Structures are given as C-alpha cells and as structure tokens.
Amino acid sequence: MAKCAFIGLGVMGYPMAGFLKKADHEVRVWNRTAQKATDWAEQYGGVAADTIEAAVADCDLVFACVGDDPDVRAIATPAFAAMKAGAVFVDHTTASAALARELAKTAKARQLGFVDAPVSGGQAGAEAGQLTIMCGGHEVDFARAEPVMAVYAKAITLMGEAGAGQLTKMVNQICIAGVVEGLAEGLHFAKRAGLDGERVIEAISKGAAQSWQMENRYQTMLRGEFDFGFAVDWMRKDLRITLEEARENGARLPVAALVDQFYADVQAMGGKRWDTSSLIARLEKD
C-alpha cells in the first residue's frame, strides 16, 4: 500500500480521497477549509493535516484537485518543497497545459515526478469511483500513479508528455459543449412544437442522436432542474483555458466559443452554480 496525500476536498476530491482510504492506502488530507478535512478524516479514518507540508511529508504520491492555475501553483510550491525525492505529484485539476509543463520542469529539478491527470465524469463519477482520467507525464511516473488512481477510475490513459492530459481534457470539454447545446435546442424545439419530450427521447435515443448527456440529463432538463453535476462557473473556466490554447495553436473553435457566451448568459441569469445542462434555461427565458 502507498503513503498518499490528497490536497483539495471539494465535490470531486472528497470522494476520490475516500476511495484511496477504502483501498487501505495510508492517506493524509489537507483542505483550505480545515473543517472539511476534519470531516473527511472522521468519515474515512484518515489523517487531517494542519499544513500542506505536513500532509505531503514522506508520501509516495501526492494528489491534488483544486480550482484553477493560481490554486495549483499555491499548493504546488509548498508541496514540492516538502516532498521526498522520488515522490510523484498527480494533479487532477483541470488547468492549463502550460502550467502542467512548468510544474513538470520544476518537479524534475527537485527529483520529483509529475503527472497532469484531469478527470471526466463529474461528481457522480467521483462518488461512484468511475472517473475517466487523461494523463500527461513520463511513463515511469505514470506507472507508479496508475494502479493507485485505479481505485476511483474506470479508464486511465497516458496521452503523452506533460500537458497532454490537459490538452485531452480540453478536447473533452469542446465535445461536451456542442452536445449539451444541441440537446438543449432539441428539447426546446420539441416543447415549442407541441411534442411530448419523453416520447421524443424514447424515439431518438437509440439512434445516432444518443449521448451520455441525453441519457443522464434529458429528464431534469425538461423539468428545469439544474443541480446535478458540473457547475457553469467551472465549465466557463475550462472553456476559457481551451480557447486560450486554441489561440496559441491556431485551432478554430466557433461552436465552443459560442457556447461559452451562452454560458455567460446563464451566469447572468443567476445560474453560476447550475449544472451545465442549464443551457436550456437560456432558450426558455421569457
């Protein structure tokens, strides 16, 4: 069993760290809000550390799942300084590929490993231990982290060198943005046309229109319920990172850019914490 630290106990990190403990790994946790770490330790039996340095000391693997590039930098700096030589830092945050490359270089200089490992599957996937993880980094570091990550994942793939995991997550978000908007428009059209939304989905969901979003979100979208997953604020953060990367590499993302603006409209409606399926609310706004 490995000695692990987990930094960041949000809706994703909290259950992910729990799966590590359930698998009998030694786990120390740290969270910016200390009470969350205390609650986790009481629930799972691990250790709530007072500082990042105390959490990562002597650990073989340090996992992180926080918010954005500045948050990752804020925890990586003290973590790298306190980690033992040969330990591997695994960042599950969806952040920029440039940051992943920067941290990989810094880690190497300190004789540490680094893997950027953003996840897909949302809160439900984290709670079920069924996440998809896209990784970037050296094969040796990935090989050490992969069997440990497997306790909360259904698929883990090494995509290439540092940053490749983050780039793959960007592709994931590009694809999701278009699918959710298409589903929102389809359901909105069905309502306006006087069709029964449930029967429409029954008719089309076994054909080419089928998607995870359709199977898992159409009912709540029809009911106008948007408290079932990844928040609009976080999707806009992901799309911002993606569009910045596209400007650098010359990729043309007209649909992703448009959907990003649609999510800005949802935010203006008060939907910052609604889940991403709330695009339909924008279409049905009076």
Q: What is the mean pLDDT of each run of 10 residues along the chain (286 residues)?
A: 96 97 98 98 96 98 97 98 98 98 98 98 94 98 98 98 98 97 98 97 96 95 92 97 98 98 98 97 90
What was the pLDDT predicted at 143? Answer: 98
Determine which helix (DSSP H) or strand (DSSP E) holds 4, and give its type and residue range: strand 3-7
- Cα(36)–Cα(14) distance, integer angstroms: 9
Determine which helix (DSSP H) or strand (DSSP E) holds 16, and give its type and residue range: helix 13-22
Q: Which of 22, 169, 272, 285 is catalytic?
A: 169
Domains of the chain: 3-160 (3.40.50.720), 168-283 (1.10.1040.10)
Alpha helices in 64-159 (DSSP H): 69-82, 97-109, 122-128, 139-149
Active site residue 169: yes
What was the pLDDT predicted at 229? Answer: 78
What was the pLDDT predicted at 1? Answer: 86
* Alpha-carbon dihedral sign for residues 42, 60, 150, 67: positive
Helices 164-192/254-268 angle, 10° precision: 70
What was the pLDDT predicted at 151? Answer: 98
Would you say 5 and 28 are in contact if contact means Cβ atoms under 8 Å apart?
Answer: yes
